[in-house]
Structure 1
Amino acid sequence: MTNHDEAATVRPLTLAWASRHLEACERIIRTEVLHGGLSAEMRKLTIGTRTGDTRDLVLRTFVNVEHTEDWLEREAGALTLLPGTGVPAPGLVAVDPTAAHCEYPSLLMTHMAGRTVLDDEGLDTRLPLLARQLVAIHALQPAKRPRGHVTLTTADTVVVPNGADASAWAAAIDVIRKPPPPREGRFLHRDFQPGNVLFDMSPSKSADVRITGVVDWAATSWGPADLDVAHCSVNLALLHGPAWGLRYPEAYEEAGGVLATDASERLYWLVRDGLASSEEVQVVAETWRGAGRTELTTRAVEKRLDAYITALMDALG
């Protein structure tokens, strides 16, 4: 087996576990690190088949991360549910949520064609695709609902960026001091954002773009559609500028999605997920820089978050 670099090396117990879930006469011949994950190590495993061809799998490993058993069980459940629904997602091969066989909790799944696209160019074409894909996810009606959504951010854990609009942030924090408004539940991805969507991009036709996959289903939940939309909105705002975050809810509704009609209810979810981003700006910025967006320093992302929160309060507050 060959590696592209030392970090691509699969740990011995995990390698043995993954190998036991291959077809007869197959073997792992190459491993490669996949960049972009915030909480898990991602590796592509190239499998040599009995016919001399190759196929790829993806190994997802959580190292010294809390709550991984819950996350991997959720992801395995989602990947079992999604085949045949029309939502493009990896297929589950095997999961070891408690590290009974591997060095660390791990999940093995099929590899999907396409790539993440984090560039500003062509976003006007990708935005409606992101909206339609999320509407399709929210339309799923599983026989067994996933667990209820969790929102960990509180008014006391928000990290106000240096130089932020103090009055806007104070007003936003006051919004989430209130109980969440009642909303009809939907099947949520819970981390739907450009970094978890794969695109097939035609090199000759910028308009010839399609989504080939949606990945990272570890936070799958049941809750208000507004929460998923809010999460994608703030990611768009930080990646591409506040105006794009403000446009996404409109694009979602144009695609047939249904959001809260009351302005205060809509504001609650948008602000809640926006403020949640304040707690992980540094990690998110570092991940995006590693993916090629070198201009997105922590300070640059903080400024975009401040502008986005201020714009939300101006528009809906």
Structure 2
Amino acid sequence: MTENQWLKLHAQSLEWVKAQLNPTAKVLDVYSLKGGTSSTLLELLVQEEDQQRFYVLRLFHKADWLAKEPDLAKHEAESLQYAKRAGLAVPRLIAYDETGENSGMPAVLMTKMPGSVVLQPSNDEQWLDSLAATLAKLHQTKVDNFSYDYFSYNDVFLLEKPIWSKFQHDWMRAFYIVSGGRPSFQECFIHRDFHPANILWEDRQVSAIVDWVNACRGPAGIDIGHCRVNLAQLYGISVANDFLTAYERHAGSSFTYDPYWDLLSLTDTLDGSPTVYPGWKVFGMKGLSDELMRHRLDDYLLSLLDRFDDF
């Protein structure tokens, strides 16, 4: 997209935003938000009569993602509404444009939540415990009438032996396990992309859960597994294990752990040789490298296979 095309689209999107608020609304400033790797995230400062308010505008620009899931804007809009009704700390939906006909590309307009992403907490144990408690509360939400169902991102039958790994045969064993029958589970509302970069904090408390475009009905283990593989890459296996322990404590008898979902979540992250997620660097996480990611994923894989041996 050329600069002129982007400026034209930018103007169209802002006109759409004003139309969703009120005729006298004025967009005073626009800021790019950190961490948006699969969509464009903009923070808007808007003058509405005698008040200034902040909003977030998500624009879905990735053509390949939209080709697979053309209803991304609608999906996030419905997820936000469902989560809000459940009493979760999420942005309030203002409007969405499913096709982008009016806003220039598929868009979701929502309120801006207080807080910021924290990846290097000064209170590690409290931070991890609050992260687990937040997820356990989310999973208490019933999903009797939510229309989106869980599906795997990768077809394990099409995954190839990871040549980047020092434990290629162990990965093939993991693929074999995942390709088998899935354990039974009790369906609940899951975020589907729950990890530290999608959690906001204020005064050392969780202030919001953001990025709801993947929410669906599914097994709690998928959310836990996705968060654990992120924690394993960011901080190592011990932190990922401590998170699981904290989640089990908060979930109580409503949750029964099965390592299958951890392993499925791990294989779902595979897309070529592992690299450092760009969002982590944007949020100030230092000391990570692609080599470290490969090493930590290998270690995490072996720890999960050990759990199967003991299960």
Query: Does the alignment reach a TM-score above 0.5?
Result: yes
Unaligned runs of 5+ in 1: 1-6, 202-208
Query: Structure 1 282/28 Cα, relative in aligned 2: closer, same or farther at 3 Å?
Result: farther
Other-structure match for 1:11: 10
Q: Measure how far apart 1:289 and its partner are.
A: 1.8
Q: TM-score, length-normalised on structure 1?
A: 0.87
**Matched-pair contact (CA < 8 Å) for 1:112–1:213:** yes
CA contact (8 A) 1:38 1:283 kept: no
**How do 1:149-168 and structure 2 match up within 5 A?**
149-155=150-156, 156-157=158-159, 160=162, 162-168=164-170
Q: How does 1:119-138 map to 2 (within 5 A)?
A: 119=120, 121-138=122-139
Distance 2:163 2:60 in 1: 29
Which letter maps to 1:278?
Answer: L
CA-based RMSD of the aligned residues comes to: 2.2
CA 1:98–1:227 in 2, change beyond 3 Å: closer, same or farther?
same
Relative to the length of structure 2, the TM-score reads: 0.88
Q: Aligned pair 1:303/2:305, yes or no?
A: no
- Indicate how the Cα distance of structure 1 residues 280 and 212 shifts in structure 2: closer, same or farther if over 3 A, else same: farther
Alpha carbons of 1:280 and 1:149: their partners in 2 closer, same or farther (altered >3 Å)?
farther
Q: Which runs of 5+ in 2 are unaligned?
A: 1-5
By how many angstroms is 1:253 displaced? 1.0
Q: CA deviation at 1:82?
A: 2.6
2-structure distance, mates of 1:77, 1:244: 33
What SS class does the counterpart of residue 182 from structure 1 fall into?
A: coil
Residue 60 of structure 2 is matched in structure 1 by 62
Aligned partner of 2:185 among 175, 180, 183 = 183
Aligned positions of 1:63-102 closer than 5 A: 63=61, 64=63, 65-66=65-66, 67-102=68-103
Question: Is residue 277 from structure 1 mapped to residue 273 from structure 2 by the alignment?
Answer: no
Q: Which structure has more helix as a fraction of its residues?
A: 2
Q: Distance in 2 between matches of 1:9 and 1:292?
A: 32
Aligned partner of 2:279 in structure 1 is 287
Consecutive aligned runs of 4 or more in structure 1 exceeding 6 Å deviation? 7-10
Deviations 1:194-244 (A, max 9, x none): 11110113xxxxxxx211000111111111111111111111111111211
Q: How many Å apart are 1:135 and its aligned residue?
A: 1.3
Q: Identity, % of aligned pairs?
A: 26
Residue pair 1:113, 1:213 contacting (<8 A) in 2 also: yes
1:41 is matched by which residue type in structure 2? T
Decide whether aligned partners of structure 1 residues 211 and 276 sit closer, same or farther in structure 2, where only a CA change above 3 A counts: same
| Pairs aligned (count) | 299
Taking a change above 3 Å as real, the CA distance of residues 170 and 283 of structure 1, as seen in their structure-2 partners, is closer
Partner residue in 1 for 2:42: 43
Contact 2:121 2:127 in 1 (8 A): no
